Chain A
């Protein structure tokens, strides 16, 4: 089954404790992206990647890092999480210029 998977689905952590949210797709898509969803703001793009080893900032990249060492994986790294990064995170993937497929989301709470 074609899908985008994210892990974990739910995470509660404390300020400053490094964490990684994984994203994997099995559709051989070149393009992958991370969004965060906050009430009243919709989804905003954090980072995106056009292909392996090619990443770039979206609209809200501060406090986040990404890497794209393999085509299927695009982890989101929070080196020192803060409470304002409490949010619902979505990974998406697509062929270049085509429909984006979204993962199920990761709900992160930083206390």
Chain B
């Protein structure tokens, strides 16, 4: 079935380090792909998205490219800050009427000063 797999966390980085969080997916059809961020004690916020192959989503210094050939949507940031500490979820949505998002298990990022 349709699924999303993220790299296991937690990921601990020093401030200004380069971040990669891997995400791969399995889906029938042509999904849209998303990264959501959950700050401590808050709900999920959409960080970026891509709706078709080779699209690059970007926001707040984060980027991810929709790679159909490798079924991946890895999240990257060139220089993380302490304020980026959060849980990051990769998700897909199939082009159906249900609107259902299928989430990965989440990756906790901790950035130390």
List the interface of chain A (C-beta within 8 A of B). 4, 31, 33, 35, 40-45, 48, 50, 56, 58-59, 90, 92, 94, 96-97, 99-100, 102-105
Contact = CB atoms under 8 A, between A and B. Distances in A.
Given A40-B105, A42-B89, A42-B105, A48 B100 contact: yes
Given A42-B103, A43-B91, A105-B42, 9 more contacts: A4-B43, A31-B99, A35-B101, A44-B103, A48-B98, A48-B99, A92-B44, A99-B49, A104-B43
Contacts of A40: 105
A31 B101 CA distance: 13
A96 B99 contact: yes
15 contacts: A33-B100, A40-B105, A41-B105, A42-B4, A42-B103, A43-B103, A45-B101, A58-B100, A59-B100, A90-B43, A90-B44, A92-B44, A96-B99, A100-B46, A105-B42
Contacts of B100: 33, 45, 48, 58-59
Nearest to B90: A42
A64 B42 CA distance: 23
Contacts of A99: 46, 49
Interface in B1-58: 4, 36, 41-46, 49
Interface residues of B, number: 20
Interface string B90-112: 01000001111101111000000
Given A42-B4, A43-B89, A50-B97, A105 B43 contact: yes
A29 B109 CA distance: 32
B101 A56 contact: no
B99 A103 contact: no
Contact of A102 (B41, B45, B104, B105): B45
A30 B94 CA distance: 18
A97 B101 CA distance: 11
A50 B43 CA distance: 21
Contacts of B101: 35, 43, 45, 92, 100
